[in-house]
Amino acid sequence: MIVDRDGLIQPTARTTVRRHKERAEYDRQAAYAILDEGFVCHAACVVDGTVWMIPTAYGRIGDRLLLHGAAANHVLKAAGEGAELTVTVTLIDGLVLARSTFNHSLNYRSVVIFATATDIADPVDKAVALTAIVEHMLPGRTADARPPTPIELTKTRVVSIPLDEASAKVRSGGPLDEEADVELPVWAGVLPLRPRAGTPIPDSANQTGVVVPAYLDQPARWS
Protein backbone atom coordinates (compact mmCIF):
# COMPACT_ATOMS: atom_id res chain seq x y z
CA MET A 1 0.00 0.00 0.00
CA ILE A 2 1.29 3.44 -0.93
CA VAL A 3 0.70 5.72 2.05
CA ASP A 4 -0.50 9.29 1.61
CA ARG A 5 1.32 12.16 3.25
CA ASP A 6 -0.64 15.38 3.71
CA GLY A 7 -3.15 14.34 1.06
CA LEU A 8 -0.50 13.46 -1.50
CA ILE A 9 -0.29 10.25 -3.51
CA GLN A 10 3.29 9.16 -3.08
CA PRO A 11 4.92 8.93 -6.54
CA THR A 12 6.44 5.64 -7.60
CA ALA A 13 8.95 4.85 -10.31
CA ARG A 14 6.01 4.49 -12.70
CA THR A 15 4.02 7.56 -11.70
CA THR A 16 6.87 10.03 -11.27
CA VAL A 17 6.55 12.65 -14.01
CA ARG A 18 9.92 13.13 -15.71
CA ARG A 19 9.07 15.16 -18.78
CA HIS A 20 8.02 18.67 -17.65
CA LYS A 21 8.24 17.89 -13.94
CA GLU A 22 6.70 21.27 -13.16
CA ARG A 23 3.38 20.02 -14.54
CA ALA A 24 3.13 17.09 -12.14
CA GLU A 25 0.32 16.93 -9.58
CA TYR A 26 0.51 14.38 -6.79
CA ASP A 27 -2.28 15.90 -4.75
CA ARG A 28 -5.03 13.32 -4.33
CA GLN A 29 -7.88 15.83 -4.53
CA ALA A 30 -6.45 17.39 -7.71
CA ALA A 31 -6.42 13.96 -9.34
CA TYR A 32 -9.95 13.26 -8.13
CA ALA A 33 -11.19 16.56 -9.57
CA ILE A 34 -9.92 15.57 -13.02
CA LEU A 35 -11.48 12.12 -12.76
CA ASP A 36 -14.79 13.58 -11.60
CA GLU A 37 -14.96 15.96 -14.56
CA GLY A 38 -14.20 13.37 -17.24
CA PHE A 39 -16.57 10.89 -18.83
CA VAL A 40 -14.35 8.32 -20.55
CA CYS A 41 -11.19 6.54 -19.50
CA HIS A 42 -8.88 4.31 -21.50
CA ALA A 43 -7.93 1.06 -19.79
CA ALA A 44 -5.12 -1.16 -21.05
CA CYS A 45 -3.57 -4.47 -20.03
CA VAL A 46 -1.38 -7.20 -21.48
CA VAL A 47 -3.02 -10.54 -22.26
CA ASP A 48 -1.04 -13.39 -23.84
CA GLY A 49 1.65 -11.00 -25.02
CA THR A 50 -0.74 -8.54 -26.67
CA VAL A 51 -1.60 -5.08 -25.34
CA TRP A 52 -5.36 -4.51 -25.28
CA MET A 53 -7.01 -1.14 -24.63
CA ILE A 54 -10.63 -0.03 -24.39
CA PRO A 55 -12.42 3.28 -23.86
CA THR A 56 -15.14 2.98 -21.25
CA ALA A 57 -17.34 5.04 -18.96
CA TYR A 58 -16.41 5.01 -15.30
CA GLY A 59 -17.37 6.22 -11.85
CA ARG A 60 -15.64 6.79 -8.54
CA ILE A 61 -16.48 5.87 -4.97
CA GLY A 62 -13.94 7.30 -2.57
CA ASP A 63 -10.45 6.15 -3.44
CA ARG A 64 -11.53 3.54 -5.99
CA LEU A 65 -12.34 3.89 -9.69
CA LEU A 66 -15.12 1.72 -11.12
CA LEU A 67 -15.05 0.45 -14.72
CA HIS A 68 -17.81 -1.48 -16.44
CA GLY A 69 -18.52 -3.31 -19.67
CA ALA A 70 -19.96 -6.52 -21.09
CA ALA A 71 -19.26 -9.63 -19.03
CA ALA A 72 -17.08 -10.99 -21.86
CA ASN A 73 -15.11 -7.73 -22.30
CA HIS A 74 -11.53 -8.87 -22.93
CA VAL A 75 -9.75 -6.21 -20.89
CA LEU A 76 -12.13 -6.20 -17.94
CA LYS A 77 -12.27 -10.00 -17.83
CA ALA A 78 -8.47 -10.12 -17.68
CA ALA A 79 -8.45 -7.38 -15.05
CA GLY A 80 -10.95 -9.31 -12.96
CA GLU A 81 -8.64 -12.32 -13.13
CA GLY A 82 -5.67 -10.34 -11.84
CA ALA A 83 -4.10 -8.66 -14.88
CA GLU A 84 -2.67 -5.25 -14.05
CA LEU A 85 -4.35 -2.26 -15.64
CA THR A 86 -3.06 1.09 -16.79
CA VAL A 87 -5.88 3.63 -16.89
CA THR A 88 -5.80 7.18 -18.23
CA VAL A 89 -8.23 10.09 -18.25
CA THR A 90 -7.46 13.26 -20.24
CA LEU A 91 -9.31 16.58 -20.42
CA ILE A 92 -8.41 19.05 -23.18
CA ASP A 93 -8.75 22.72 -22.19
CA GLY A 94 -7.32 24.46 -25.24
CA LEU A 95 -5.13 24.48 -28.34
CA VAL A 96 -1.84 26.28 -27.73
CA LEU A 97 -0.78 28.01 -30.94
CA ALA A 98 2.85 29.03 -31.05
CA ARG A 99 4.69 30.96 -33.71
CA SER A 100 6.49 27.79 -34.77
CA THR A 101 4.78 24.48 -35.43
CA PHE A 102 7.39 22.78 -33.26
CA ASN A 103 6.13 24.56 -30.16
CA HIS A 104 2.41 24.00 -30.69
CA SER A 105 0.84 22.22 -27.74
CA LEU A 106 -2.36 21.51 -25.81
CA ASN A 107 -3.55 22.76 -22.47
CA TYR A 108 -4.71 19.63 -20.71
CA ARG A 109 -5.30 17.86 -17.41
CA SER A 110 -4.63 14.14 -17.20
CA VAL A 111 -4.42 11.29 -14.71
CA VAL A 112 -2.51 8.02 -15.13
CA ILE A 113 -3.27 5.08 -12.82
CA PHE A 114 -1.51 1.74 -12.37
CA ALA A 115 -3.44 -0.88 -10.43
CA THR A 116 -4.55 -4.46 -10.02
CA ALA A 117 -8.34 -4.58 -10.24
CA THR A 118 -10.86 -6.39 -8.09
CA ASP A 119 -13.80 -8.04 -9.83
CA ILE A 120 -17.14 -7.04 -8.28
CA ALA A 121 -19.24 -10.18 -8.40
CA ASP A 122 -21.76 -9.64 -5.59
CA PRO A 123 -25.02 -8.43 -7.21
CA VAL A 124 -25.69 -5.83 -4.50
CA ASP A 125 -22.17 -4.39 -4.72
CA LYS A 126 -22.34 -4.47 -8.51
CA ALA A 127 -25.62 -2.53 -8.48
CA VAL A 128 -24.09 0.08 -6.16
CA ALA A 129 -21.10 0.43 -8.49
CA LEU A 130 -23.29 0.80 -11.58
CA THR A 131 -25.34 3.45 -9.78
CA ALA A 132 -22.12 5.35 -9.11
CA ILE A 133 -21.15 5.13 -12.79
CA VAL A 134 -24.53 6.44 -13.98
CA GLU A 135 -24.53 9.18 -11.33
CA HIS A 136 -21.05 10.18 -12.46
CA MET A 137 -22.43 10.55 -15.97
CA LEU A 138 -25.46 12.55 -14.88
CA PRO A 139 -26.22 13.22 -11.21
CA GLY A 140 -29.87 12.56 -10.42
CA ARG A 141 -30.47 10.10 -13.25
CA THR A 142 -30.77 6.92 -11.19
CA ALA A 143 -33.72 8.36 -9.27
CA ASP A 144 -35.68 8.31 -12.55
CA ALA A 145 -34.42 5.39 -14.60
CA ARG A 146 -35.16 1.70 -13.96
CA PRO A 147 -32.31 -0.10 -12.18
CA PRO A 148 -30.73 -3.17 -13.82
CA THR A 149 -32.47 -6.52 -13.49
CA PRO A 150 -30.65 -9.57 -12.09
CA ILE A 151 -30.19 -10.89 -15.63
CA GLU A 152 -28.75 -7.55 -16.78
CA LEU A 153 -26.34 -7.61 -13.85
CA THR A 154 -25.03 -11.02 -14.93
CA LYS A 155 -24.39 -9.61 -18.41
CA THR A 156 -22.28 -6.79 -16.98
CA ARG A 157 -18.76 -6.92 -15.60
CA VAL A 158 -17.63 -4.29 -13.09
CA VAL A 159 -14.13 -3.98 -11.70
CA SER A 160 -12.80 -1.73 -8.98
CA ILE A 161 -9.29 -0.30 -8.98
CA PRO A 162 -7.52 1.52 -6.14
CA LEU A 163 -6.25 5.04 -6.74
CA ASP A 164 -3.06 4.52 -4.75
CA GLU A 165 -0.54 4.51 -7.60
CA ALA A 166 -1.48 7.49 -9.72
CA SER A 167 -0.34 10.92 -10.78
CA ALA A 168 -1.82 13.89 -12.58
CA LYS A 169 -0.22 16.20 -15.10
CA VAL A 170 -1.48 19.65 -16.03
CA ARG A 171 -0.46 22.13 -18.71
CA SER A 172 -1.90 25.64 -18.74
CA GLY A 173 -0.95 29.02 -20.11
CA GLY A 174 0.24 30.31 -23.45
CA PRO A 175 2.81 29.19 -26.01
CA LEU A 176 6.46 28.73 -25.14
CA ASP A 177 8.10 30.19 -28.21
CA GLU A 178 11.79 30.42 -28.90
CA GLU A 179 13.05 33.94 -28.24
CA ALA A 180 13.89 34.47 -31.90
CA ASP A 181 10.39 33.45 -32.97
CA VAL A 182 8.65 36.11 -30.89
CA GLU A 183 9.44 38.64 -33.63
CA LEU A 184 7.64 36.62 -36.30
CA PRO A 185 4.40 38.22 -37.64
CA VAL A 186 2.37 35.15 -36.68
CA TRP A 187 -0.64 35.14 -34.35
CA ALA A 188 0.05 33.14 -31.21
CA GLY A 189 -2.11 32.34 -28.21
CA VAL A 190 -4.63 29.86 -26.90
CA LEU A 191 -7.92 28.68 -28.41
CA PRO A 192 -9.95 27.56 -25.38
CA LEU A 193 -11.93 24.34 -25.75
CA ARG A 194 -14.69 23.48 -23.30
CA PRO A 195 -17.43 20.85 -23.52
CA ARG A 196 -20.94 22.27 -23.74
CA ALA A 197 -24.26 20.55 -23.23
CA GLY A 198 -26.80 21.19 -25.96
CA THR A 199 -30.58 21.30 -25.85
CA PRO A 200 -32.01 17.90 -24.82
CA ILE A 201 -33.50 15.95 -27.74
CA PRO A 202 -36.53 13.91 -26.62
CA ASP A 203 -36.97 10.33 -27.75
CA SER A 204 -39.93 9.90 -30.09
CA ALA A 205 -41.37 7.19 -27.81
CA ASN A 206 -41.52 9.38 -24.71
CA GLN A 207 -44.84 9.07 -22.91
CA THR A 208 -47.22 12.03 -23.03
CA GLY A 209 -46.64 14.32 -20.08
CA VAL A 210 -43.05 13.27 -19.43
CA VAL A 211 -41.10 16.48 -19.05
CA VAL A 212 -37.40 17.24 -19.40
CA PRO A 213 -35.86 16.52 -15.97
CA ALA A 214 -34.25 19.43 -14.19
CA TYR A 215 -31.00 17.54 -13.66
CA LEU A 216 -30.21 17.79 -17.38
CA ASP A 217 -29.21 21.38 -16.64
CA GLN A 218 -25.66 20.88 -15.36
CA PRO A 219 -23.95 24.29 -15.48
CA ALA A 220 -21.46 23.42 -12.75
CA ARG A 221 -20.04 20.59 -14.87
CA TRP A 222 -18.97 23.00 -17.58
CA SER A 223 -17.69 25.90 -15.46
DSSP 80-104: HTT-EEEEEEEEEEEEEE-SSGGG-
Tell me, yes or no, whether 11 lies in a domain.
no
Tell me, yes or no, whether 160 lies in a domain.
yes
**90 in Cβ contact with 109 (< 8 Å):** yes
Q: How many structural domains are present in the chain?
A: 1
**Dihedral sign from CA coordinates of 54, 57, 60, 66:** negative
Tell me, yes or no, whether 197 lies in a domain.
no
Give the model's pLDDT for residue 207.
93
What is the CATH number for 103? 2.30.110.10
Tell me, yes or no, whether 158 lies in a domain.
yes
Task: Find, among 51, 63, 209, 60, the residue nearest to 133 by Cα.
Answer: 60
Q: Which domain holds residue 56?
A: 23-172
Tell me, yes or no, whether 15 lies in a domain.
no
Tell me, yes or no, whether 135 lies in a domain.
yes
pLDDT tens for the chain, 223 residues: list them.
Answer: 344 556 878 888 888 888 877 777 788 999 999 999 999 999 999 988 899 999 999 999 999 999 999 988 889 999 988 889 999 999 999 999 999 999 999 999 999 999 999 999 999 999 999 999 999 999 999 999 999 999 999 999 999 999 999 999 999 999 999 999 999 999 999 999 988 888 889 999 999 999 999 888 876 665 5
Give the model's pLDDT for residue 1.
39
Give the model's pLDDT for residue 178.
93
Which phi and psi (to 5°) does residue 104 adopt? Answer: -65, 150
pTM over 0.95: no
